[in-house]
Amino acid sequence: MVERYKRILKQLSAYNAINPAEDGSVHCFPGAVIGLKYHDNLALNTSDIPGGYSMSDFKHFLRKSYSLKITTASEIEHPKPVLILISRRTTRKFLNEDETVGLMEDLGFQVIITPPYNMSSLDKFAQVVNSCSVMVGAHGAGLANSVLLPAGAVTVQVVPLGLDRASAANYGDPARKIGVQYLEYKIEAEESSLFDLYGRDQPIIADPQSIHLKGYDVARAVYLDGQDMKINLVRLREILVQARKLLGNPTSFK
């Protein structure tokens, strides 16, 4: 963690970060702040923070940490809008990813496909994301990288079956606070690999809420860890067209 986030840690203190896994010596300090306070998903409660920092301030902090030059999507100088696709390799992956990329290219996007291992170097990855005007990905931690998009860019979240509420809370609701325009593509039951396993009438398909009532671990095993998606390209096309329109008339963010 110390190595991965070293650019951020250097901005937080005038002193070098200590990695206790590598440095076993004793260190003495006159005082310490212990633990983290969770405000919400991709959110800051300005009234609880000395100085009243907001998510806008946090984005500015990230831009400074990673020397990101592009502030707004309109500053991106490229003949085509650049779209970054967060490609998954285990769960919630797009079973027809090649066809999905083809659709994006047919609509005039330059597509950058980013598998998880490409995100390991945040120094390089932050620069890539900052140069994009659209991010597309299935519900998951990869979408947290939308904080690195320039203001006015568009995030398209693909919402798997049974994850409507989590998708909205984790990435939909926070989008505007980080200066990003938000669209979502909610898959239909037939697009989920669960449909072929269980059929239309089973509660996993017909009544996801009943599965969530059995507890987080049960719901996670089914909807987060147990499904992939074959995207309906006709329906997705409509969302991507909307994304292009939003880029042509970006909302003014404060």
Give the model's pLDDT for residue 240.
97
pLDDT at 18: 82
Separation of alpha carbons 163 and 24, rounded Å = 43
Whole-number pLDDT of residue 48: 86
Residue 49: what pLDDT?
Answer: 85
3-state secondary structure of 63: helix
Say if residue 33 is exposed, middle or buried (CB neighbours under 10 Å; 0-12, 13-18, 19+): exposed
How far apart (Å, rounded) are the C-alpha atoms in residues 30 and 206? 59
Helix 233-248 to helix 97-106 angle, to the nearest 10 degrees? 40
Torsion of CA 16, 19, 22, 28, to 10 degrees: 80
What integer pLDDT is reported at residue 248 of this predicted model?
Answer: 85
Burial 63-93 (b: 16+ CB within 10 A, else e): bebbebebeebeebeeeebbbbbbbbeeebe
Q: Mark the ranges of the chain whose per-residue pLDDT is less than 50.
A: 250-254
Predicted pLDDT at 249: 53
In this predicted structure, what is the pLDDT of residue 251?
45
R_g (Cα) of the chain, nearest Å: 20
Give the model confidence (pLDDT) of 2-56 as tens digits.
788 889 988 888 888 888 788 888 888 898 777 778 888 888 888 888 889 999 8
Q: Give the span between the Cα atoms of 128 and 169, in whole angstroms.
A: 26
Helix (H) or strand (E) run with residue 244 in it: helix 233-248
* Residue 118, Cβ density class (10 Å: 0-12 exposed, 13-18 middle, ≥19 buried): middle
